[in-house]
Amino acid sequence: MDKSIIELVVARIDSQISPNLKLSIGNTESLSKHEMIEHVIKGDEIGKQIIQVHLNFIKAQANRQLISALNSVE
């Protein structure tokens, strides 16, 4: 994975995720903010999944898909 993408995702996690939040991916245990960052930096399978989720969210924002989806909720 490109170093700049890893840095972007780490910065997003660090600035936007509460230290009290836990993340579960699949059947794995819940991950703390620090553990999420560790997986992203390692580039393991969980880290790759976290990166992909962040990239998909950024793309949805850029394409206005996120706004359209939110506006369609009644």
Q: What is the pLDDT of residues 17-33, one digit of tens each?
A: 999 999 888 787 899 99
pLDDT of residue 74: 59
| Mean pLDDT split into 10-residue runs, the chain, 74 residues | 94 94 85 96 95 91 71 65
Counting Cα atoms < 13 Å in the Cβ hemisphere of 35 gives 12
* Residue 12, burial from CB neighbour count under 10 angstroms (0-12, 13-18, 19+): middle
* Measured distance CA(5)–CA(11) in Å, rounded: 10
